[in-house]
Structures are given as structure tokens and as C-alpha cells.
Amino acid sequence: GENVEQHPSTLSVQEGDSAVIKCTYSDSASNYFPWYKQELGKGPQLIIDIRSNVGEKKDQRIAVTLNKTAKHFSLHITETQPEDSAVYFCAATRTRSGGGADGLTFGKGTHLIIQP
């Protein structure tokens, strides 16, 4: 099955600086890669995703890049703000021939701390 590794486990950056979180996956058939943000006491919130036919996607201060050859994808957050402090999870899955997709396989998470 799929295996997703995520680094670093903790990332502390100064407010206004950029943050980068990296993930690698093992299954070359994976074709959908979402990123989630989880705040304390809440469920994961989808913040951005990318499909295997795209190399990069951007939404305001957040961007995701995908390198299919190396099987890794990264989350980039620019101009970080205190409200960006949370745990971030990457995930991977693939479309099933019979419909739907495999369940999401998640990385272990990155605790992002924004220092004022």
C-alpha cells in the first residue's frame, strides 16, 4: 500500500517568513495530493490540493508543488501570520477503476509554530 513520509515534524518560523513542509510518497499510481490544516479541537481543514497532471498550484499565500518523478510534494506558505500556527498534514491517494478512490494515506503531520 501507499506510504507517505512528512518532514519536519516541528517547524518554527518568524512571523512574516516563509514555511516549507515536504512529503514523499511510495505509490507511483497516486494521483491526488491534498493538504490539511488541523487546529486544536477541530477536524482537518482542506487548504489546497494538487492532481498529478499539474506541477504547481497557488492560492494566495499558499502553494503546492509536485514532482512525480521524485515522488515528492511540498507545501509553501509565504508571509506567515500567527493564525497559520497549526498542525499540517499531507496525504495521497489514487483513483480506483471501479469508482471513487483509495482512502487517504496521511503523513504524520508538521506542527507549525509562528513566532511573533
Partner 1 sequence: KAGVTQTPRYLIKTRGQQVTLSCSPISGHRSVSWYQQTPGQGLQFLFEYFSETQRNKGNFPGRFSGRQFSNSRSEMNVSTLELGDSALYLCASSLAASGRTDEQFFGPGTRLTVL
Instruction: Provide the binding-site residues for partner 1, judged by CB under 8 A.
Output: 31-32, 34, 36, 41-46, 49, 51, 89, 91, 93-96, 98-109
Q: Which is nearer to partner 1, 31 or 74 (CB)?
A: 31
CB atoms within 10 A of CB 41: 5
Q: Give whichever of 52 and 74 is closer to partner 1, judged by the CB atom.
A: 52
Closest CA relative to residue 70, chosen from 48, 83, 55, 81? 55
Enter the C-alpha cell of residue 114: 509562528
> Least separation, in Å, of the C-beta of 2 and partner 1?
10
Residue 14 or 40 with smaller CB distance to partner 1 = 40
- Nearest-approach distance from CB 11 to partner 1, in angstroms: 17
DSSP state for residue 85 in the 8-state scheme: -
Helix (H) or strand (E) holding 65: strand 62-67
Nearest distance from residue 62's CB to partner 1, in Å? 15
In whole angstroms, how close is the CB of 52 to partner 1 at the nearest point?
10
Q: Are strands 4-7 and 19-25 parallel, antiparallel or unpaired?
A: antiparallel
